[in-house]
Homo-oligomer: A and B are copies of this chain.
Amino acid sequence: MALQELSTNRKTLGIKAYQAIRDEIISLQIKPGEMIYENGISAQLGVSRTPVREAFNMLLKDELIEILPQKGAQVALISQQKVAEAQYVRECLEVSTFKIVASMWNSKEAKFRELEDEINNIINQQEQAVAEQNYVSFVALDGQFHEKILSVIENRTVLVVMNQMRAHLNRMRYLELLEARHEQIGIDQHKEIFAAIRANDPSKTEILLAWHLRILDDVRPDIIKKYSHFFKES
């Protein structure tokens, strides 16, 4: 994700390791609760323990792992509490921002016309991803849709925070996609939301978005039961 570390384009082995491990965690390639070890990862990546340790510290700050002293690092279990908290933060920021974008939108400006093309493009790609049943791609594109709209207000900090929140929401989302099929509903909602934005209708945008962000809530009990070993509180 191009968001992080745009300070000086410094790409140490530690940062690369961080990004690699983080991707594997939030895409469930490494399972919640799984133990990982500095030695193991460093052998796997062909570097020494030092960069891996740096990566672990960053993951710890993201709350994506827990470090058990002298025992190893455990990939964080999915916490319903944490998911709810991240969802709340996301909703606050995203609703406020989308409303602003809705009130700003002006198709006469080139900037917005470009954006419109890009967003329509994302939506099209999403439909294709659904057709191909490529859920990894689908989730990534879903993120891009939201990010594109957020980016209108030119607030990098919002994107960074949302990125942090998304890390925790993503794993839940993957599980839910494995179970229930509302990708098409999600895409339709994207279209409606984008229409409300283009129509300069902040209130409608707010209502649609709040609904959209909660679409997955009702599936959760099933998920939690089925994958209870991935969850902290179960």
- B-chain residues with CB within 8 Å of residue A26 when the two chains form the complex: none
**Partner-binding segment picked from A7-15, A128-136, A141-149, A214-222:** A7-15
Contacts known (A7-B67, A8-B69, A10-B67); A157 close to B61, Cβ less than 8 A: no
When the two chains form the complex, which single residue of B10, B85, B92 contacts A92, counting CB atoms closer than 8 Å? B92
Q: Does A54 interact with chain B (Cβ within 8 Å)? A: yes
Could you tell me if A155 and B92 are in contact, using CB atoms closer than 8 angstroms?
no
Q: How far does the alpha carbon of A30 sit from the alpha carbon of B161 in the complex, in Å?
A: 26
Q: Does A224 interact with chain B (Cβ within 8 Å)? A: no
What secondary structure prevails in chain A residues at the interface with B?
Answer: helix
Q: Number of copies of this chain in the oligomer?
A: 2
Q: How far does the alpha carbon of A78 sit from the alpha carbon of B53 in the complex, in Å?
A: 30
In angstroms, how far is the closest chain B Cβ from the Cβ of A157? 4
Q: Quick one: CB contact mask for A4-32 with B, threshold 8 Å, 1 for yes?
A: 00011010001000000000000000000
Q: Does A66 interact with chain B (Cβ within 8 Å)? A: yes
In angstroms, how far is the closest chain B Cβ from the Cβ of A49? 11
Q: Does A156 interact with chain B (Cβ within 8 Å)? A: yes
In angstroms, how far is the closest chain B Cβ from the Cβ of A191? 25
- B-chain residues with CB within 8 Å of residue A86 when the two chains form the complex: 157
Could you tell me if A89 and B158 are in contact, using CB atoms closer than 8 angstroms?
yes
Could you tell me if A156 and B54 are in contact, using CB atoms closer than 8 angstroms?
no
- B-chain residues with CB within 8 Å of residue A61 when the two chains form the complex: 58, 61
Q: Does A93 interact with chain B (Cβ within 8 Å)? A: yes
Q: Does A1 interact with chain B (Cβ within 8 Å)? A: no
Q: Does A57 interact with chain B (Cβ within 8 Å)? A: yes
18 more contacts with CB within 8 A, not counting A8-B69, A84-B155, are: A7-B60, A7-B66, A10-B69, A53-B54, A54-B57, A58-B61, A61-B61, A85-B157, A85-B158, A88-B155, A88-B158, A89-B93, A89-B157, A92-B92, A93-B93, A96-B96, A157-B165, A161-B161
| Residues of A near any B CB (own CB < 8 A) | 7-8, 10, 14, 53-54, 57-58, 60-61, 63, 66-69, 82, 84-86, 88-89, 92-93, 96-97, 153, 155-158, 161, 164-165
Counting from the closest, the 10 A-B pairs by CB-CB distance are A85-B157, A92-B96, A85-B155, A92-B92, A7-B66, A92-B93, A10-B69, A54-B57, A61-B61, A89-B157
